[in-house]
């Protein structure tokens, strides 16, 4: 039985991030020195300083995925916007990953957000294009495009 709960200790997510580290393309494609300790520290800062909330997907075997979300005032007007930061679900549980997104969107509405921004990263895994198609099917619109160059 799958359930979603909140986790405030980024260190408790180490096993998921270690799994993600094997899928990420940041090192191979972009030259980043991707370290799980750094990712965990950054997420803990988001939790402690920015007020991010991390929802985890788990079953009796443990945590299979996570989605972190935080809220900011919109720079465009008197609105709040929710931003996803880290959405990863292990391959065997991916069919349940949309539960995390649905839960996070409901949380964002309950916290007064007018918009929800999701990221599709070419660095995160080879799932970028598929993730974009999922977002579009769910009614998300292409919002921004970023480019990076290793110096």
Alpha carbon of residue 128 to chain centroid = 13
pTM of the model: 0.94
The average pLDDT across 1-20 equals: 96
Return the percentage of the chain with pLDDT > 70, whole number: 100
From CA 109, how far away is CA 18, in angstroms rounded?
Answer: 31
Question: What structural domains and CATH numbers belong to the chain?
Answer: 3-137 (3.40.630.30)
The pLDDT tens digits for 75-123 are 889 999 999 999 999 999 999 999 999 999 999 999 999 999 999 999 9
- Predicted local distance difference test score (pLDDT) of residue 15: 96
Q: Tokens 């009614």 label which residue?
A: 139
The pLDDT tens digits for 23-82 are 999 999 999 999 999 999 999 999 999 999 999 999 999 999 999 999 999 888 999 999
From CA 140, how far away is CA 132, in angstroms rounded?
Answer: 9
């Amino acid at each position: 039985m799958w359930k979603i709960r909140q986790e405030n200790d980024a260190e408790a997510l180490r096993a998921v991030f270690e799994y993600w580290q094997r899928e990420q393309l940041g090192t191979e494609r972009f030259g980043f020195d991707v370290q799980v300790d750094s990712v965990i520290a950054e997420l803990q800062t988001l939790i402690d300083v920015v007020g991010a909330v991390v929802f985890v997907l788990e079953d009796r075997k443990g945590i299979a995925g996570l989605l972190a979300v935080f809220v900011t005032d919109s720079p465009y007007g008197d609105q709040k916007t929710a931003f996803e930061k880290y959405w990863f679900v292990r391959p065997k549980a991916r069919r349940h990953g949309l539960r995390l997104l649905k839960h996070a969107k409901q949380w964002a509405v309950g916290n007064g957000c007018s918009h929800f921004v999701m990221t599709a990263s070419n660095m995160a895994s080879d799932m970028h294009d598929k993730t974009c198609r999922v977002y579009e099917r769910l009614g998300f619109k292409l919002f921004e495009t970023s480019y990076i160059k290793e110096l």
